[in-house]
Amino acid sequence: MQIVHTDGPSTAEVDLPELIDRLPIGSFQIRVLLICAAVLFVDGFDTQAIGYVAPALAQEWKLARGALGPVFSAGLFGLMLGAIIFGTLADRIGRKRIIVIATTAFGVGTLATMLAQDATVLIVLRFLTGLGLGGAMPNAVALTAELAPHRRRATMVMAMFAGFSIGAALGGLLAAALIPAFGWRSVFLVGGLVPLALAPVLAAALPESIRYLALLRGRDCDVAVLLRRVDPELRIAEDARFVVPEPRLTGLPVAHLFAERRGGITLLLWVVFFMSLLDLYLLSNWLPTVLNDLGVSVSAAAIIGAMLQVGGVAGTFALGRVIDRFSFRALAVTYLCAATAVGAIGLSSHAIALVTIAIFAAGFCIVGGQIASNALAATYYPTAIRATGMGWALGIGRIGSIVGPLIGGAMLASHVEVETLFLVAAIPALLAAATALLLARIV
């Protein structure tokens, strides 16, 4: 039994991170992890939905190859701004409030997307939807990380983040079933109603970050309540005051990402996120279209393209313990394997079985590597700027996710050979591997 008590009349000062590290992982932490995973599940579904409906949408609107590149990038530009704005705001007003607001926002935006009648309106709606999608992710990561003991933090964050990959993969499978029967708009109908139904559940069931509360004045009772939910046998003194032994940071939060020798690591993390998300969104947005161009039906292209995210789910669970133990060294190896798998997609593109295996392997390494990067970034930054650090890393990464679909669209419009397209797509993974190796040497 864990005991926190006082030996005299003075207030007991409790080191909250040290206490969390000593507590067992119980049902409360698992429940929070699953709730945050549900947020990322619908986030992943709605983020990837446009890629899965792209072939059917392009056929209905008679669009040229590559014409949907601006639509993809508009949504990802919204994701970038949403991650930066809402990540920074959450360090001021709390993680829970932003998660509820962001989930409601992208639910409304996704529902509105089904009403689009041309590419211009679709660009605007995907941008607005992206703001909410981008705001939910860094705060779900931060909230999960701040409740997890250090020894299992990467594993728990990665397990939670698997929700995104599962949602994205299910989007492909659901699109394959819905589009032939009800048209592409039905995918956005489902993608809008589910997060709107989830939002009130989040408001009622999701707790605020325990470390965030400890940084506020006068919230010790709320912290104690959450700790008792983590470990019902925990005895806490009435006058306990919970502290997070990190310096109190004032001023512009983003400035602190470069203070106290954090600048170099912050920039290197941004490079990893940029390269990783460039590759991920180039593949996830254009794979169904490339497969359809090779003669695969729209439904089959959606299913095969979904193997990228199925592989990501497998990679997430397989890599969690490895990342907890070997950190950035394991990440470098993961991205090196990703480069090999991406190149193999192009070389095996005319053999369905082989290309499916290559796409699965690419997802295992790229999606798994990106989720591992999220976990490592969340572990690196202190509580006061954790959501800011995650938001900016994901925001800079989203610039890569904007560039990726544009590169893919430009290559498709130029009728680049499939083999060349995927060999080019392997380059960002190689650069991410080199950067992760450099981080392993200095962190």
Output the CA torsion sign for 214, 219, 223, 224.
positive
Q: What is the pLDDT of residues 278-322, one digit of tens each?
A: 999 899 878 888 888 888 887 888 788 888 888 988 888 888 888
Whole-number average pLDDT of the chain: 87
Residue 5 confidence (pLDDT) above 80: no
* Structure-token pair, residue 253: 């939060």
Task: Specify the pLDDT at position 112.
Answer: 94
Q: What is the pLDDT of residues 103-131, one digit of tens each?
A: 999 999 999 999 888 888 999 999 999 99
Q: What is the pLDDT of residues 45-101, one digit of tens each?
A: 988 888 888 888 888 888 876 678 788 888 888 988 998 898 888 888 889 999 999
Q: Could you tell me if residue 122 is inside a domain? A: yes
One-letter amino acid for residue 410 of the chain: A
Nearest 10 degrees: Cα torsion 137, 138, 141, 145: -170
417 conformational bin, left if phi > 0, alpha if psi -120 to 50, beta if neither: beta
The span from the CA of 219 to the CA of 295, in Å, is 60
**For residues 3-30, average pLDDT:** 74
CATH code at position 187: 1.20.1250.20
Q: Could you tell me if residue 265 is inside a domain? A: yes
Q: Could you tell me if residue 2 is inside a domain? A: no
Global pTM reads: 0.77
Mapped onto helix, strand or coil, the DSSP state of residue 322 is helix
Q: What is the pLDDT of residues 387-433, one digit of tens each?
A: 888 888 988 988 888 888 888 888 888 888 888 889 999 999 999 99
The span from the CA of 88 to the CA of 32, in Å, is 22
State the DSSP H helix or E strand holding residue 243, giving kind and residue range, or none if neither.
strand 241-243
Q: Could you tell me if residue 243 is inside a domain? A: no
Residue 250 confidence (pLDDT) above 80: no
The span from the CA of 423 to the CA of 395, in Å, is 26
**Cross-strand pairs, 15:** 243
For residue 155, give its domain range: 17-235+253-442
Q: Could you tell me if residue 5 is inside a domain? A: no
Q: Could you tell me if residue 49 is inside a domain? A: yes
* Structure-token pair, residue 439: 């981080």
Please count the other Cβ atoms lying within 10 Å of the Cβ belonging to residue 234. Answer: 16
The total domain count for the chain is 1
Q: Could you tell me if residue 123 is inside a domain? A: yes
DSSP state string for 299-310: HHHHHHHHHHHH
Q: Could you tell me if residue 245 is inside a domain? A: no
